Chains A and B, each alone.
Chain A
Amino acid sequence: MTLLITIFAAIICTILWYCSASCREMKVGILCWLYWGASLMWLVDAVFEYISIGAAYFTPAPADLLNDFYLGLSVVALGLVIWQVIVLIKDPKGVVREALFRKKK
């Protein structure tokens, strides 16, 4: 479930990055790298788990499914927080700098 949620997040971010110039300006590419990197690594984890437990991998217990779903959402949220911090620091549209300048005035 975590893998699935991360892959969907990666696909959505990649589509946004490809289709929208303003998304590229807002550094959505960072999210693409984050989510694709994690998706590839969890894919390997999933393959190893499938090798060890077989078809049972596709029928997890409801409690495990819920925990993985919650983890997946938390991972997406963490990725968004990392992206937001980077955007605020790099300030591609100059909004933070403008706000600070106004305050000083």
Chain B
Amino acid sequence: MACFLVPAAEAVVTTIAAKVIKTKESRGEAVFDSTEQTAPEMVEKIPFSQKLGWLNRLLWGGSALLLFEHVWHGEVVPWFPFLTAAADPSEVTAMLHEMATAGVMMTVLVTAVWVGMLAVSSVMEKRTISEKQMKRCRRSVK
């Protein structure tokens, strides 16, 4: 009915957040996902705004294709109030219920996958950093 609106709403919030964070990063107020890193290691890290961009793309991409599916099924129309369920008071409750269940679960799943991606990228970053440090140590010993 309108489940795609929940991930779309999150996409709006994360897009704004990514822009704000990117502005701070470009100003030099580096916003990293870990504060434990030392200065040379920070150079290697992927900016958090870029990582948030992954979530944005997943959310916007999924929401766009789901919007098309809803148009296909006649649940979204190009005239006010745009949602056929919203025009019928008896269907509003069902629509809100679907948004609260399926919509929220979609958002949670996409965000959970993104968190998994953050964990994997963090491990890969740490590996790359430690490999580079090992190379530096070997060079200094020679």
Contacts and interface: CB of A to CB of B under 8 A. Distances in A.
Nearest to B102: A48
A40 B65 contact: no
Majority SS of interface residues in chain B? helix
B109 A37 contact: no
B61 to A, nearest CB: 4
A8 interface: no
Interface stretch (B43-51, B66-74, B79-87, B130-138): B66-74
Nearest to B101: A48
A71 B69 contact: yes
B61 A74 contact: no
Contact of B57 (A6, A30, A47): A30
A52 to B, nearest CB: 11
A82 B64 contact: yes
Contacts of B110: 37, 40-41
Interface string B1-37: 0011001000000000000000000000000000000
Residue of A33, A43, A78 ringed by the most chain B CB atoms within 10 A: A33
A65 to B, nearest CB: 15
Report the contact-size class of chain A (Cβ under 8 Å from the partner).
20 to 34
B106 A44 contact: yes
Majority SS of interface residues in chain A? helix
B113 A45 contact: no
Contact of B62 (A30, A41, A71): A41
A38 interface: yes
Contacts of A37: 57-63, 65, 110
Contacts of A40: 58, 62, 106, 109-110, 113
A2 B69 contact: yes
B124 interface: no
A88 to B, nearest CB: 18
Contacts of A47: 105
A82 B102 CA distance: 26
Contacts of B105: 44, 47-48
13 contacts: A33-B58, A34-B64, A37-B58, A37-B65, A38-B62, A40-B62, A40-B113, A41-B106, A74-B68, A75-B68, A78-B65, A79-B65, A82-B64
